Structure 1
Amino acid sequence: MVTENGEKSTAQIYENTRRKLGDSNTTPSPQLTVKMRCYRSATVCLVLLCVVLLTAVIVLSVKLTQDKDQLRVKIDNLTNERNWLMMENNELQKNFSKADEWIYFSSYFISTEMKTWDESRRYCRERGGDLIIINNTEEEDFISRKTISSGERFWIGLSDRDVEGTWRWVDGNPLSYSFWAAGEPNGNISENCVESIRPGWNDAPCYIAQKWICERNVL
């Protein structure tokens, strides 16, 4: 049997429970709804920003890797080209520095063999040079000292074989400075190639075998 106080207590408990359940089902206020929407929007924006940043980092990383690979390839190519040029230059130096064939002076190479004018020029060209072109007094003084000291004759890169009387160097340029010996040139059509003698130049038959002087640019 329930007492009156007991019935009141049960009623109170019921009423309190109902109120609590009623409070839990209460519709949120407009201010709270706005805040919740703003929070969700901010969260979505933050996620999207993270995705964009991550994508940018990946793209940039790929681009930098590609650029690095291309740069490495270019460096390797330049290194190989440099090594090839060094090997070629060393080979040329060997060809020009043989004691029994050449005497080295600055960019000039003086033979110790005897060849025709054409053979002499071919020999120079096969080794990266050509018969000497004398464009100034300094070069002529060098040739003269060598000619005087040895008493020998040397082919130089001057001839009029294309047009008689029109003297041209082996690079195609016309003669501008001349150091002919007295009375030279005088060989007409029979003497079309030029040799350095003491004291100056002389036109001579191109088929004569004698020494020669090559010239080339030194790296």
Structure 2
Amino acid sequence: MVMQEEGYRKFNQENVNEDTGMAKLDVFEVQDSHFFRPRTCCETLLRVLQCVLLAVCAVLLLVLIAMVTSKFWHVSQDLQEMKSAIDSLNASMLSASEVNKGKSQYLESGSTQDTKKDPCFEDWELFQGSCYQLSEMEEQWDDAKKACESEGAHLMIITSLEEQRQAWKFMRDVGVNIWIGLHDIDEEGDWRWVDGTMVSAMPQFWDYKQPDNWDHKKNRTEDCGSLHRHGSLSSGWNDDYCMEYYRYICEKEV
């Protein structure tokens, strides 16, 4: 019993401040008592609001990330489509360039080939193995004959319906009478071509009631052949006065 009292006094002395006479507080005890102090309603509400705010921020952040990702994906798709369109345009331009190049080469080669294949001179037209030229000048029949011969040719000789159509095309384009290589100058009624061939030995395309050797005036008979502008495609020959001035067709065999 005596020992317990002594121990109690000793504990009191150790836990009493010598200067103030007040009991010392254990720091650990104070800290523990503060840690386990009950929270107020305001502190709890504040903590809940903080959690809610953090959750909202997290959600907004996720939404923002999703929007940016989606926008980036769409931009990437647009860029890819633009790249594809540019590639397609470049391919089309290249293809068009190749086509134009091929066309130019074809035209150049075609022009060269035509030059090689076409033996006719400029202003002469190739038809069934002969070159033809319609004169610009008007001449009398004999002068027209000489003009063709000076070109190494002769007045046109018509031996088929196809040649008749070709001659008719020349006449139709200018709408005037045209001299051809037909005559009966040597003997009346003996119609021949300038190469001496008898007309009766070939197809004939005389106009209606021609030749009639109509006497314009005394000693002005019709002894030279022409294509009459009022004739038809298959019947346009006419015997005409040789001193008339007409345009003429020259023919040169290839």
**1:144 CA displacement:** 1.2
* Runs of 4+ in structure 1 over 2 Å off: none
Match 2:241 to one of 198, 205, 214? 205
Match of 2:227 in 1: 196
Using the aligned pairs only, state the percent identity.
34
Alignment partner of 1:104 is 2:124: yes
Q: Structure 1: how far apart are the matches of 2:140 and 2:162?
A: 26
1:128 is paired with a residue whose SS is: coil
Q: Give per-residue Cα distances to partners, 1:95-125, cap 9 Å, x unaligned.
A: x63xxxxx42111011010000000000000
Q: Give per-residue Cα distances to partners, 1:21-66, cap 9 Å, x unaligned.
A: xxxxxxxxxxxxxxxxxxxxxxxxxxxxxxxxxxxxxxxxxxxxxx
Match 1:142 to one of 166, 188, 195? 166
Alignment partner of 1:158 is 2:182: yes
**1:188 CA displacement:** 5.2
Match of 1:122 in 2: 146
Which structure's CA Rg is the greater one? 2
Amino acid at match of 1:121: K
Match 1:181 to one of 184, 207, 221? 207
For the aligned residue pairs, the C-alpha RMSD in angstroms reads: 1.8
Stretches of structure 2 lacking an aligned partner (at least 5 in a row): 1-118, 216-220
Amino acid at match of 2:124: Y
Match of 1:132 in 2: 156
Amino acid at match of 1:104: W
Q: Structure 2: how far apart are the matches of 1:207 and 1:149?
A: 23
**1:148 CA displacement:** 2.2
TM-score (norm 1): 0.52
Match of 2:193 in 1: 169
1:195 is paired with a residue whose SS is: strand
**1:146 CA displacement:** 2.0
Q: Structure 1: how far apart are the matches of 2:160 and 2:172?
A: 18
**1:178 CA displacement:** 0.8
Q: Structure 2: how far apart are the matches of 1:132 and 1:143?
A: 8
Q: Structure 2: how far apart are the matches of 1:137 and 1:213?
A: 17
TM-score (norm 2): 0.45
Q: Structure 2: how far apart are the matches of 1:162 and 1:114?
A: 24
Amino acid at match of 1:193: C
Amino acid at match of 2:179: W
**Matched-pair contact (CA < 8 Å) for 2:134–2:170:** no
Stretches of structure 1 lacking an aligned partner (at least 5 in a row): 1-91, 98-102
Q: Structure 1: how far apart are the matches of 2:253 and 2:204?
A: 22
Q: Structure 2: how far apart are the matches of 1:201 and 1:133?
A: 12
**Matched-pair contact (CA < 8 Å) for 1:164–1:188:** no
Alignment partner of 1:216 is 2:252: yes
